[in-house]
Structure 1
Amino acid sequence: MTKKNKVLNSHVLAALTPGAKVDIKTRNINVSSDPEDATLVLNVGGELFETYKSTLNKHGGTNLSDAHFLEQFYRESRKDYFFDRDPVCFRSILEYVRTGQLHLPSNVCGPAVKRELDFWGVNEGLIQRCCWNIYDSWNSAYESLLQLDQDRKAMFCMDFEDKEDMDWSTRFRCKLWNILSNHDYSKLAKVYGFISLSFVVMSVFTFIVETHPAFKVPGTRDILGRSHQGFTIIPNTSHSMVQENQHSMIPHPVLIIIDIVCLIFFTLEFVLRLTCAPQRVRFFFSFLNMVDLVALLPDYIEIIVMNHVHNDSVSSIMHYITILRLIRILRTFRLIRHVSGLWVMMYTLKASLEELMLMSVFLLVGMVIFASLIFFVGEEQFDTIPISLWWALITMTTVGYGDMYPTKDLGYVVGTFCALAGLLMIGFTVPIIVNHFVLFYTHLQSAIRAEKRQKSDLKEKEEEQKLFETREESNKTKTNSKREKTNYDKTIEEHVDAPPSYARVLDTLQNGVDKNAAIDAKNADDHANLGSSLFQQNEKFGKEKTERSDNEFVHLLGNGTRKNEFCTSHV
C-alpha cells in the first residue's frame, strides 16, 4: 500500500461521504454537491448570492447555519433573504463557508470588517495569517486614534456640563475658561493666545540670555534682593561648580523686570485657570498644570530665601539655588499649549514606549558586546569597560565625538561592526516611532480642521435660523399692516358717507393717521403724506370760506352728491 493510500484510508471521515476527496497537504475534505440540490438566494446590500443550503452547514459556528437567524430576513414576495449589509465583506465570509479559509479584502477598514464578522457570527481568530497583519494594524491604529482623541480632550478640551441650566456666574466662568484654554473660541481668545505666547517666548529668552556676559552688570544683589556676592558658576575642566569670584556679576535690571512681569502674568493665569476650571481637582493634577506650578515655584522660593540670607550664608545654599534655577527650564513646556506638534511628539514617545524599550535593549546589548571586545583588543585609551561603554554608545548612535577611537587593526574591525550594528538598530526601531508620529499628527490636524468646520456650520445654521425668524416677523408685520390699512379705509368710507361737519371729518382722519403711524412705523411716511393731503384740503376750504359767504358754504355742505364727489376725490 502506497503512502498516499495510507493517508486517504487513515482519514475516517473520507469513508462517510461518497465521492469525497481529501487534500493530502491540508487534510481537508472537499465534497462536490449535487447540481440538483436545493439552493437559496441571499440578497446582501443589493447584490445577489446564490449557494447550496448544504454549503451553509459546512461550518456550524456561523449565523448562516442558523435557521432561526435566516428566517428573520426572509422575504416571501421575492423568495430571498435580504441583508442590508456590506456585500464586499460578505463575499469573504461566504468564501470561508465554502472553503474553510477566511481571507479579507485589503481595501476595507479593520473596524468595519470586525462589525461584519460579529454580525455573521464569525470569530476573528479564523482570519488567515496573510490577512491578519493588515486587519490587526487597522484595529490598532483605530484604537490608538480613539485614545489620542480622549487624551487630547481631557487635556485641552475640558468643558462645562449642563450649559443650559447655568446661572450668570457659571456662564461667566465658562466663557472665561474658553478664552483661557481654547484659542479658537473667539477673537478675544486668539488675542489672549498671542499675548500668552509672547510672554512664554520672553520668559524663555530671559532664561537664556541672562547667562551671557553681555547681559550682565557688576553687583551683588539684583532688584529683587537676590544675592550674587562673591559667587558665580565657573566651568571647570572636570565639572561645573560654584566657586568664589572677586568680581560678582548680576543679570541686567531690564531682564529682571521682564522676568518679574512674566512671573506675575503666569501667576495670574494659573490662578484664573484654577478658579474657572470646570473640574478643579482634575485640572490641578493635570500634566500641563503641574508643569506650570513647578515652573513658578523656583522663582518665589529664590526671592523669599535670598532676601533673608546673609552674605556669610550664601555659600551653603548657593548650590541648591542653582538647582532651583535649573528647574526654570520647564518654562519651555508652556509652548505645548500653543504648538500642537510638541504635544504630539510627547504623546508619541508615550505611545511608543514598547518600541523605545526594545531599542534600549538593543542598544544595551550592543554596548556590552562591543565595549568588551574593544577592551580585550588591548587599545590604550580603553583601559576599563565602563569607559568602553561610553565609546560604544557614541559609535552605535552615529554621534562620534572623536574623543576616543581605536588605533589598532583589531580595534578598527570592532569599531566597524559596532557602527553597522548601530545603523541596524536605528533602522529597525526609529521608523516605527516616526510612523506613530505621522499618524498622530495628521489625525490631530484633521480633527482640528473638522472641529472648525463643525463650528462654522453651526454658526451658519444659527444665522439662517435668525434670518428665518426675521422674515417671519417681517411677514407678520406686513400682515398686520395690511389689516390696519383695511380698517383705516373702512373708517374713511364711514366718515365720507355720513354728513358731519368739515372739522369733525378732519379730526377723525387726522386721528386715524396718528393711530396707524403708532402701530406700524414702516408705513408712517405714507400716512404722513395722507395727513399732508388733508391739511392742503383744509387750506383750500379756508380760502373758499373767506371768498364765499356762510350761506353758500352751508349750501355746499348740504348738497350730498357734490359732497360725496368732493370727499371721495380728495381722500
Structure 2
Amino acid sequence: MKFDEKSICVLNVGGTRYAFPAEVIRDFPLQRVSRLHTCVTEKEVLEVCDDYDQDRNEFFFDRHAQAFVFIMLYVRSGKLRFVPGVCALSFYSEMLYWGLGSAHLEFCCQRRLDDTGYSEEDLIMRAEENESSNEVDVEQGSGWLEWIRRTFEEPGSSVAAKLLASLSIIFVIISMVMLCMSTLPDWDTAKHNTVEEHRIVEAVCIGWFTAECVVRFLVAKDKLIFLCQPLNLIDLVAITPYYISMVMPGTAGGLSGVAGVTLRVLRMMRVFWLVKLARHFLGLQTLGLTLRRCRHEMATLAIFLTVATAIYSALAQLLEHSLDPNHRNPDDRSNRGGDYASIPAAAWWAVISMTTVGYGDVYPVTVGGRLLGGLCVVSGIVLLALPITFIYHSFVQCYNELKLRSARSQGAHHARPCLQHRLL
C-alpha cells in the first residue's frame, strides 16, 4: 500500500474511478475509506474493499455507482439526499456500508425514511441481511455445516428441513399435552399406575429438544448471538428443570419451600415452547415482527390507558365511596362500596370497563358512578381504536415482506443446485 504524501489513491466504485491524495484518504469523511489509511497488510485492505491493485494503488468497491455519486456530493457540500428513482432502503444500505447514518440525511429525506415504517434497528438489520446474502462462501469444508444449519434454522429450505420441522412440532404438541394433563386432579393416580410410560415419554421429548438445541448451537455462526436470542433462552430455561430434578435429591417425593416452588415455576416454563412454533409458521413470525416494529405505538397506547385508568379509578372511588362511605344502596347486595374503597381497588373496574370486557363482578350503583362508567367505556373504545389502523397496515406489510422473503429464500436454495449442475 502506498500512503506517502506524494502518492495518489484511486477508488473504483462500480466502475467509476475517483483519485485522491493519500493525505485526503486519511481524513476522508467516509469511515470505510478512511480505514484504508490504517491498513498495513493486503489482508487488512481486502477486509475493507473488494479488491486491490498494488501497481496502480487502486481500491475496488463493488457497490452502487450512482448512489456513491450522491454520497460524494455529501462529502463536498455536506448535504445528503436520496437518489431519484432508487429505493430508499437500498440507498440507506449504501449509506451504512460507507459509514453514514440516517442523521446525515436532510430532513425531507429523513421523513421519507420514516414513512417506510421501519425503525433504525430494523433498517440496520435489513442492511446486514443483504450484505450477508451477497457474500459467497468459498470454504469447501464448511458446506455440510451450512447445510445442517439451514436445515435446523430454515424449515422450508429442503425436504429434510420440512421433515425435521414436522417432527419438532409433534414433540412440542406431545410436551404441551403432557403439561396440560399433569394439572388434572386424577393425574397423580394415573401417573402412579403408569409411571414408566410417563417417564419414557418425558425423557424422549426432553432428549429431542436437548439434541436439537445442542446441534443448533454447534453449527451456529456466532455462538454469543445464538445464546442471546429469546427463543434459544426459552429452550434452555424449559429444558433445565428436567435435569435439575434428575440430580437433586428428594425430588421424587416432591420438593418443598423455595426450591420446590422454583422448580415448579421452571417446569411451567415449558408452555413457552409453543413460541418455538414461530420458526415454522409465518403467522407467528408476522405477529412478532409487527409487535417489534409497533413497540412505540404500543407503548403510547399503554400510557394512554394507564393515565385514563388512574383518572377514572380516582373519580369512581370518589363517587362510589368517598362522598358517602356509610350509605348503602338497596341494589348494592354484596357491599359494592368495598370494591371502590381505594383507588387501586377501583382500578380493576376501570380496566375492564375501558377494554369493554365487563365481567360484571364490579359495577357502580350511584347515578354519578354510572354516568362515569358510560364515559369510561366510550373513551376506552376511542383510545383503543386510535393505533389500530397503523398496527393493521404494519401487520399486512410484515406479512407480505416475510412471505416474499421466504419465497426468495426457497427459490434461491432450489436454484443453487441447478446452477451448480449447469456449471458442471
TM-score tier, shorter chain, comes to 0.5 to 0.7
Per-residue deviation, 1:410? 1.0
Q: Which residue of 1 aligns with 2:290?
A: 348
Q: What fraction of aligned residue pairs are identical, expressed as a percent?
A: 23
Aligned pairs for 1:33-48 within 5 A: none
1:163 to 95, 112, 137: 137
Match of 1:441 in 2: 399
Counterpart residue number, 2:269: 327
Q: May I ask how many residue pairs the two structures share in their alignment?
A: 316
8 Å CA contact 2:245, 2:251 repeated in 1: no
Distance across 1 between alignment mates of 2:354 and 2:251: 49
1:265 aligned residue (208, 214, 233): 208
The answer on whether the counterparts of 1:160 and 1:174 sit within 8 Å (CA) in structure 2 is: no
- Match of residue 204, structure 1, among 162, 165, 176: 176
Question: Does residue 304 in structure 1 map to residue 244 in structure 2?
Answer: no
Instruction: Determine whether 1:182 maps to 2:154.
Output: yes
Task: Tell me which amino acid in the other structure corresponds to 1:370.
Answer: Y
Question: Who wins on radius of gyration, i.e. which is larger?
Answer: 1
- By how many angstroms is 1:464 displaced? 4.3
Q: Secondary structure at the match of 1:184?
A: coil
CA drift at 1:124: 4.9
Q: Distance in 2 between matches of 1:349 and 1:108?
A: 31
For structure 1, list consecutive stretches of 5 or more residues without a partner in the other structure: 1-84, 86-106, 224-252, 467-571
Residue 366 of structure 1: how far off its partner (Å) = 0.7
CA RMSD of aligned residues (A): 3.8
Shift of 1:451: 2.4
Measure, in 1, the Cα distance between the counterparts of 2:134 and 2:206. 29
Corresponding residue to 1:387 among 342, 345, 351: 345
Deviation track 1:82-140 (CA, whole Å, cap 9, x = no partner) reads xxx9xxxxxxxxxxxxxxxxxxxxx988729999xx9xxxx95479xxxx97x455444
Shift of 1:216: 4.0
Which residues in structure 2 correspond to 1:35-434 (within 5 Å)? 111=88, 124-125=106-107, 135=112, 138-141=115-118, 146-147=123-124, 149=126, 163-167=137-141, 170-213=142-185, 215-217=187-189, 223=195, 253-305=196-248, 307-308=249-250, 314=256, 317-379=259-321, 380=337, 381-434=339-392
Inter-partner Cα distance in structure 2 for 1:274 and 1:209: 31
Superposition TM-score, scaled by structure 2 size: 0.64
Output the CA distance in 2 between the equivalents of 1:359 and 1:218.
Answer: 47
Against the structure 1 CA distance between its residues 372 and 271, is the aligned structure 2 distance closer, same or farther, given a 3 Å change threshold?
A: same
Instruction: Report the CA distance shift for 1:358/1:349 in structure 2 as closer, same or farther (over 3 A).
Output: same
Unaligned runs of 5+ in 2: 1-65, 67-83, 96-104, 322-336
- The structural deviation recorded for 1:376 is 1.2
Alpha-carbon distance change, 456 to 146 in structure 1, aligned in 2, over 3 angstroms? farther
Q: Partner letter of residue 374 of structure 1?
A: A
Shift of residue 367 of structure 1?
0.7
Q: Is contact 2:355–2:381 with CA below 8 Å preserved after alignment? A: yes
For 1:293 and 1:198, the matched residues in 2 are separated by 19
* CA shift digits 1:478-535 (9 cap, x unpaired): xxxxxxxxxxxxxxxxxxxxxxxxxxxxxxxxxxxxxxxxxxxxxxxxxxxxxxxxxx
Q: Distance in 2 between matches of 1:447 and 1:218?
A: 47
Counterparts of 2:242 and 2:278 in 1: how far apart (Å)? 21
Q: Aligned letter for 1:194?
A: S
- Change in CA separation of 1:184 and 1:399 when aligned onto 2, cut-off 3 Å: same
Change (3 A) 1:383 1:261: same
**Alpha-carbon distance change, 310 to 111 in structure 1, aligned in 2, over 3 angstroms:** closer
What's the CA shift string for 1:127-170, capped at 9, x where partnerless? 9xxxx97x45544459786456468x59xx99997633333xx3
Conservation of the 8 A alpha-carbon contact between 1:344 and 1:440: yes
Q: 1:323 to 1:126 in 2, by over 3 A?
A: closer
Code of the residue aligned with 1:420 in structure 2: it is V
For 1:165, the aligned partner's letter is E
